[in-house]
Each structure stands twice: as structure tokens, then as C-alpha cells.
Homo-oligomer: A and B are copies of this chain.
Amino acid sequence: MPNPEILFQTSPEQYKHWRMNTAGPVATLSMDVQEDETLADGYKLKLNSYDLGVDIELADAVQRIRFEHPEVRVVVVTSVKPRIFCAGANIYMLGSSSHAFKVNFCKFTNETRCAIEDDSHHSGRRYIAALNGTASGGGYELAIACDEIYLVDDGNSAVSLPEVPLLGVLPGTGGLTRLVDKRKVRRDRADVFSTLAEGLKGKRAKEWGLIDGYFPTSKFQESIDARVKHLVNNAPAAEQGIKLTPLEFETTDDSRDYKYVKVKLNREQRYADLTVLAPADPQPTTAGQIQELGAAYWPLQAYRELDDALLHLRVNEPLIGLVCLRTEGDAETILEIDKTLAANHDHWLVREIILYMARVLRRLDLTAKSFFAVVEPGSCFAGNLLELLLASDRSYMLKDSEEGDASLAVSELNQGAFLMSNGLTRMQSRFLAEPEKLDEVFGDQKTFNTEEAEELGLITFAPDDLDWEDEIRVAIEERTSLSPDALTGMEASLRFAGPETMDTKIYGRLTAWQNWIFQRPNAVGPEGALTNYGKPTQAHFDYKRT
């Protein structure tokens, strides 16, 4: 499967599968998947089923609503196909994809659904799933990521999770977890529902808590409209959005350079250097100036570039197992930016920018590659960029350099603006054993040289000039020589100490089980259910329980 590079940038004018309409406080996202507009050959996207290309558009639409249409208070997610809402991830696409692609596909679709919930939770936009027809598998999982679910009662339309009974795999996009943890459906009912290929229709679906209401076909649209009207009645005054302009970058065989993010691929050694640059120009200090600058404002542009680079590395560069995170520029500039963000966090755009930075950092936490932070003189691991170091599996900071001292710096934003999926800050996560260290880190002193950072426990290793090159080289060589699968499992276990949330359950427990099942002969072997779906041949199971 997909050899051509997958691009994660799109915009409404380019959408093939979604229609986005905004009318004052209401946006409507209508699914209208074009069968033949697939990311790869070998399948057709029938019945509003989707592949990664469809979900990239959805992620873009949700992102644009937040930045370009802050006036929107309610988002209606529906379909323009009669009697079909969405049939979920395309089964033939899954059947013909590599294991790694399936895993990355599910991770991205999960992140998109979590982004919907993030918008609902933090920015108060209400998402309404208006199921004008059957929502099966990933279709229902999209609905369950919304705040409210309404189903047409036409004697035929149902909600269902047919993955277990039909395909021998799990609903891969958080469905099982959201069923019992978000909608708190009783576990025996969840068990019945998740093994019932045909799903449940209006009345019983409502009774079991799978949907919030159902309306006959003739009254469906007006009922949705009434609900939407009710929700927008108390909407705050309209804000003016900004335009998310296309990201520009230059690529060669071994580099991908944006304005603020530079990626260098060391293919032979299977690692990448990813450097984030501080801005050289003066940055705005008021919300008005930020709004005027829009997408060119450093925090927004740099993190959009970082986001795109991470997605690119995940999907298009599977052989890169390690990313060395570096920063370059004036730490003071970064701290000033954080000060401006913190001072204006009540402004809608600043709030959206901070929330987006948090999402990008979570994308990093969830990326199945090792991260080493490399701190040298001239770097700027300060404030929001310090999170890159805290998100890394390890950090190396040069001590006693002839070029002057390296330093780290904290800002107010490190104290709660960028929560991990488990609800902790990365600093809390780091000092689980010694929470009193947080007082030291966030005390009067804001900047720490190598010795201080080492003493405080902010970094892993602090080699001096003499050892530096060798130590980094050996660390990289060692890391990239290890089994990539064992590293993925190890990192997923060590990165998320402490509490668990619905999100971490989805990315941890559920995803790991799904990944396991995605390798089992009963799913993907020649006689597996996924392999044989829709073919004249039948699945045959090895019934041994594991």
C-alpha cells in the first residue's frame, strides 16, 4: 500500500469528500465521499466509507472551524447520501493495507475524534451527529465522538459496531472505550451491541444509551434544526476568524524545510534531526496584533509546521526510528511570546493557539518514534519549546562548552497550558516521585544552566565538550539498533505514568489490543475475517483462545 507520499495539508476548496457550510453560529459538515477519490488503488469508497484521505479532510475542517469560524457554536455532522450516514473505515482498504499503515491510520483518526472532543470541552462548541441513515463501525465511532447523537427512525437505519462479528477485529477508533466510558453504556449491553452485526435502531438504541434521540424521516431535519436553534440561542457575540494559509516548505531527498521547522533525514543511520527555530522578527504583544498577523504568528505557524512534520515522519518515513529534537534562536523571544500568550489567554484566538500547541505536543507524545532532546549553546528550550525536551524519551545537555553555556528556561505556560493525554503537565509527569521539585522549578529562578538543570533533574545526561560528540553518536547508534517494535511498546508504557483518562485508554489499552488483533491470522491471515470479507471465500478461525 500507499507508496505515493501522503500529504496532510488540504483546504475546503480542495475537499473531495466533505462539504463544509457555515451560517452564522452553525456549521454543517456533510459527508459525501467520492467512491473513486481514494488515497490508493484497489478499493472504492462506497456508502460513505472512508480512508485516510477522507479523515485528513475532516481533521482540517474541524481545525478550520476553530480558527476561521470562531463564530460557530454548533457543528452538525451529517451526510448528504440518502439513508446512509457513514459505513466506517473502508474494509477493502484495511484488508489491503500493511500492518504499519493500519496502525497509523487508526492513530490519526483517533486524534481527529479527540480533536472534536477537545473543541467541545475547551472551546464549548457543541457537536451534533445528525444520523440521517445507518452509522456503522467507524461511522458510529464518529457519532460517539460528538456531544449528541440523533438517528432517523425510518424502519431501517441503525447504529452498529459490526467489527467483531463481521471482520474479526475491534472498532479501531475509540468506539469500545467511548461506549462504556463516555456514554457509560452498561457493559453487558455494550457486549451485546458490539457483537450484533445489524446493530440497533431508534427505540432500543435510545433505551440503551447509544443515541440521544430518534425522529421519523419526515420530522428529522426540523427536529435537528430545533435542537440546533435551542443550542445557539445563548451563543456569545460573534468573533472574526483568521485564515489558515497553506504551509510552505522545501524538500530534498533528505530534508524537509519549513520556515521555522527544519527536518534533516539521516537515512543511513535511521534518525532525523528536527530543529525548531525561534522567530528572528519582533512578535506581537497584544491580541489585536496577533489577530492581524494571523497564521504567520510564530506559535501558530511553528506548531502547524511541527504538526505537519510529525505526521509526515510517522506515515511517510517509517524507517526513521529516532528523532533528535533541537531548537535554535533566542530563548528570550520564546519567553516573551509565552508571556503574551499567558496574558491574553482569554482572547478566543490566543486560547485556540494554546490549545492547538497542546494538541501538537500530544501528537508528539503519541508518535511511535524515539525522541532525544539535544541541548547546546544557542538553543532555546524555553517555555513552550521546553515541552519538546520534557516530551522526549531522553535529553542530552552540553556542559562546560567553550561556546558558552547552554540553558533551559521555564515559563508560566509550562504550569498547565499543555496537558498530556493523561491530564498531567509534562513537568508533573517528570516529578511524580518528587512533587516538591515543582516549587523549585517554578520558583524565582526561571533559567537554568547545565549544572543546575542536571542538579534539578530536568535533563538525563550532561556530557562535557570532550565526550559530547561521542556520547550523542553512540546513543543514536544504540537506539536505532534496537527492535523498533519493542521500543514502541516500551515508550508507550513509560511515557504515561500516573493517572489514565479516556484518551490514554484509547491510545493505550484499546489501540494495543487492536494492533495485536491486526496481526492475528484470524483477522489478516489467508483464512482471516478481514481478508475474506466480501469475497466468495469464507473466513475460518483457529478457535484457540489467547
Residue ranges of A at the interface with B (Cβ–Cβ < 8 Å): 99-100, 103-104, 163-165, 167-170, 176-177, 179-181, 183-192, 194-195, 209, 270, 318-321, 368-369, 392-395, 429-433, 457, 459-460, 478-480, 482-500, 504-505, 508-510, 512-517, 519-520, 522-523, 529, 539, 541-546
Which residues of B sit under 8 angstroms from A431, Cβ to Cβ?
Answer: 186
What is the total number of copies of this protein in its complex? 2
Contact of A529 among B186, B483, B489 (CB under 8 A): B483
Q: Which chain B residue has the least Cβ–Cβ distance from A506?
A: B493
Interface centre among A163, A490, A510, by most chain B C-beta atoms within 10 angstroms, is A490
Checking B187, B319, B368 against A543 with a beta-carbon cut-off of 8 angstroms, the contacting residue is B319
A475 to B: closest C-beta gap in Å:
9
- Neighbouring B residues of A429 by C-beta, 8 Å: 187
Q: In the complex, A180→B463 CA distance in Å?
A: 25
Whether the pair A523, B319 counts as a contact (CB closer than 8 A) is no
* Complexed CA–CA distance, A286 and B273 (Å): 71
- Determine if A545 and B192 form an interchain contact, defined as CB atoms under 8 angstroms apart: no
A493 touches B433 (CB 8 A): no
Contact partners of A523 in chain B: CB under 8 A: 483, 485-486
In whole angstroms, how far apart are the Cα atoms of A487 and B163 in the complex? 10
Answer whether A369 and B482 are a contact pair too, CB < 8 Å, given A170-B493, A191-B394.
Answer: no
Chain B min CB distance to A86 (Å): 21
The 9 A-B residue pairs with the shortest CB-CB distance, nearest first, are A512-B512, A168-B483, A184-B433, A489-B513, A500-B500, A180-B497, A508-B509, A176-B493, A318-B544
Whole-angstrom CA separation of A495 from B187 in the bound complex: 7
Closest to A163 in B: B486
* Distance to closest chain B CB from A447 (angstroms): 21
- Chain B contacts of A100 at CB under 8 A? 544-546
Residues of B within 8 A of A430 (CB): 186-188
Which one of B195, B505, B513, B519 contacts A482 once the chains associate, using CB atoms below 8 Å? B195
Q: How far is the CA of A165 from the CA of B484 in the complex (A)?
A: 10
Contact at A192–B487, with CB atoms within 8 Å?
no
Q: Do B543 and A484 touch across chains, with their CB atoms under 8 A apart?
A: yes
Which residue of B186, B492, B513 contacts A493 across the interface (Cβ within 8 Å)? B513
Q: Given A170-B486, A509-B512: A190 and B494 within 8 A (CB)? A: yes
Cα–Cα distance between A346 and B167 once the two chains are bound (Å): 51
Complex A-B: 25 CB contacts under 8 Å: A100-B544, A100-B546, A164-B482, A164-B483, A164-B490, A168-B485, A177-B493, A184-B497, A187-B393, A187-B494, A188-B459, A191-B393, A191-B494, A195-B479, A319-B544, A319-B545, A321-B543, A368-B546, A483-B517, A484-B541, A488-B545, A496-B509, A500-B500, A500-B504, A512-B513
Q: List, in ascending order, chain B residues with CB within 8 A of A177's CB.
A: 493
**Cβ–Cβ < 8 Å partners of A509 in chain B:** 492-493, 496, 508-509, 512
- Which of B183, B194, B485, B495 touches A517 (beta carbons < 8 Å)? B485
Could you say which of A100, A192, A482, A495 has the most chain B C-beta atoms within 10 Å of its C-beta? A482
B545 touches A368 (CB 8 A): yes
A430's nearest neighbour on chain B, judged by CB, is: B186
A194 and B318 in contact, given A164-B482, A457-B186 (Cβ under 8 angstroms)? no
CA distance A430 to B508 in the complex (A): 23
In the complex formed, the residue of B with least CB distance to A461 is B192
Q: How distant is the Cα of A393 from the Cα of B509 in the complex, in angstroms?
A: 18
Between A395, A498, A545, the greatest number of chain B beta carbons within 10 A of the residue's beta carbon is seen for A545
If A177-B493, A516-B519 touch, whether A488 touches B546 (CB-CB below 8 Å) is yes
C-alpha spacing A191/B515, complex, angstroms: 22
